[in-house]
Chains A and B, each alone.
Chain A
């Protein structure tokens, strides 16, 4: 059975090192031809621009409470209506995006980085490295997250870390304990890849570990990582609201998409006031879908097995 990766290795080997930059350019060129992926990218950029610059044009940035304007449906002065305290929903959605986008992307990248690094190491070196990493992973998988969060919360509160920063620290800590799932997956992929013919060829050629790992194995798992990462972006944006819920996230009145959508967690708001939950809900949806479409395009370009 001759697999495509095998051929790829050959191609790569003949072109050797100067290929790097042109490969990158080549990828960009390929990517720019994929209209769907480009449009996904444009939407993501648009979300960022809107959230980071948009609020500057709003007259309601101070988030002032206005009891006379509670829960108004969208109208000319408030394009997306107002919330329970008379604050402008549009402004809040945009401000919320700043935190949600940053947190969502950052935590996703961090987790993927830690998980894939450890998984790759375990799968590549096997033996004692694998044993240590995987047994730690097993142990971490058994740890319940709830008490962990509360202990983090208590510690951060004890150490008087300003509430604005707590969320980032908690995200960081969670990435440090949340890697086992992804690590296992990457390790599995590695185990199977390193037995493939193209890797045997690499061994025969006497390539160094680093080169085998980074030039030959990692490119093969990048597509998987991209799929996982983009799939989880929605979850990690929403996860911010969970942290806020536990008092570890942003403090009110600072808005995030997650806590805005959570505010509609009852029948009455749900039925009577769609303008409270549609804007943040749609923002998450649009971001998630755009990032995923872009991720798909990226995957196609970077996947050595795909020839389109």
Chain B
């Protein structure tokens, strides 16, 4: 196990190094740069600014500069926002994380419960209903569900705020602040859960169907265990095991932010910031964020590989 880990960690660094070079080149090759979008500038001024920002240097040199700074923990200043990149992350990522954590948790809980029940009652009306609902949620664009819920719950019924994270101008602190945030995050969390729950439910359902058909379940029933016990101790545990490996993949998603949801609900998250920065070609921010997500992705795959081994000891780590 420990040799496996150290081997994987070395691979991880090699991959991250290769990824950083690749990503840097990708951003540099994307048509247009930070300067070209500003139509107010004359060609001479543009050249001057490219010089100030070092955008006219050769690609590899720019990469070298970025890399050596990054190693010293300096991810630079965002060109558009005029702030240190790390400070910006700190300001936005946690907001995204909040939404993601809550909705991921809800998604899993609902998916497990609904998945198990509809597997148990395969082809019943409940199962069919769930299936239709899932496909409906999956074939509708997310902006659509968002608009619909805003229209109903915020504009017409005025139960929930239409967007944002705080009541505008509010100075609430402590419990009151918490309540306000919960109030505001309800709508986006509902939509994110709706969007994610479908495929996961299907996944659990099909896992569960497989497990229920296994001989050891028959054995358990034959032993005279109650149906509930058979279902929730024997069957569910085995159906959940493969899903554990999915946990690692959630890691980057937890911090990555959700572009559409954040936009529709005016949520001050990193997804929106990334999108904007991409439009502006704000290289330091783009590079910093993408590398951050890359690190999480690689870590996530490692975690899921290890968990896979834990879930199914027959699978050898190598």
Chain A residues with a Cβ under 8 A of chain B: 1-4, 126-127, 130, 135, 138-139, 141-144, 146-148, 150-151, 153-154, 181, 184, 188, 191-192, 195-196, 223-224, 227, 231, 234-235, 237-238, 241, 261-262, 264-265, 267, 270-271, 277, 281, 284-285, 287-289, 292-293, 299, 305-307
Contacting pair A142 B131 (CB below 8 A): no
Q: Which residues of A contact B120 (CB under 8 A)?
A: none
Contacting pair B15 A154 (CB below 8 A): no
B141 to nearest A CB, angstroms? 6
Q: In the complex the two chains form, what is the Cα distance from A188 to B278 in whole Å? A: 35
B107 to nearest A CB, angstroms? 15
Per CB-CB distance, the 10 closest pairs between chain A and chain B, nearest first, are A142-B294, A195-B314, A234-B139, A288-B139, A142-B19, A154-B31, A147-B26, A147-B30, A289-B135, A285-B139
Chain A: interface secondary structure? Answer: helix
Q: Which residues of A contact B315 (CB under 8 A)?
A: 188, 191-192, 195
Q: In the complex the two chains form, what is the Cα distance from A88 to B53 in whole Å? A: 52
Q: For chains A and B in complex, what number of residue pairs have CB atoms within 8 angstroms?
A: 131
Q: Which residues of B contact A148 (CB under 8 A)?
A: 26
A292, closest chain B residue (CB): B135
> Can you offer 17 A-B residue contacts whose CB atoms are under 8 A?
A130-B318, A135-B11, A135-B15, A138-B11, A139-B19, A144-B26, A144-B290, A154-B30, A235-B138, A238-B141, A267-B151, A277-B144, A285-B139, A285-B140, A288-B135, A289-B131, A299-B206
A141, closest chain B residue (CB): B297
B36 within 8 A of A: no
CB < 8 Å: which of B22, B29, B203, B278 contacts A143?
A: B22
Q: Which residues of B contact A181 (CB under 8 A)?
A: 249
Segment among B95-103, B173-181, B213-221, B224-232 that sits at the interface with chain A:
B213-221
Contacting pair B18 A284 (CB below 8 A): no
CB < 8 Å: which of B29, B151, B249, B278 contacts A270?
A: B151
Contacting pair B23 A143 (CB below 8 A): yes
Assuming A188-B308, A285-B139, is B22 touching A1 (CB within 8 A)?
Answer: no
Q: In the complex the two chains form, what is the Cα distance from A250 to B69 in whole Å? A: 42
B49 within 8 A of A: no
B31, closest chain A residue (CB): A154
Assuming A142-B293, A144-B290, A188-B245, is B132 touching A289 (CB within 8 A)?
Answer: yes
Contacting pair A4 B215 (CB below 8 A): yes
Contacting pair A192 B312 (CB below 8 A): yes
B143 to nearest A CB, angstroms? 6
